[in-house]
Amino acid sequence: MKKLALHTLIALAALGLTVQAEDATKITGEGTCAKCDLKTATACQNAIIVTGADGKKETILCDANDISKAFHGKICKGAEKVTAEGVITEKDGKKTIALTKIELAK
């Protein structure tokens, strides 16, 4: 089990993510709309594009919760740099984040 946790931390570090208490993760990237900008969804959905330490870009979709819905208007029609916190999971081969906080990066 410890080996699995260590591998998870290493994988997150490779993506440029930092681990916080209770599996919450803080990420910084380009926030945009998966439907309007990326054309990868059939309905508006927040997405955050992060760049890993290896320079590879990865899209993390935001779960549709109240925090995500309230913020969506700020990034639907144009991408913005954002900082977000939440729990990252993988669903159907795609990474998602259950947001606990999101804001425009300063």
- Containing structural domain, residue 11: 2-104
Task: Write the DSSP string, 39-73.
Answer: ---SS--EEEEEE-TTS-EEEEEEP-SHHHHHHGG
Cα–Cα distance measured from residue 7 to residue 101, given in angstroms and rounded to the nearest whole number: 26
- Tell me the pTM: 0.77
| Token reading at 26 | 């803080």
pLDDT block averages, 10 residues each, the chain of length 106:
48 50 84 96 97 94 96 94 96 92 94
Residue 14 is predicted with a pLDDT of: 53
Q: How many domains does the chain have?
A: 1
- CATH of residue 63: 2.40.50
Other CB atoms within 10 Å distance of the CB of residue 97: 26
pLDDT for residue 4: 45
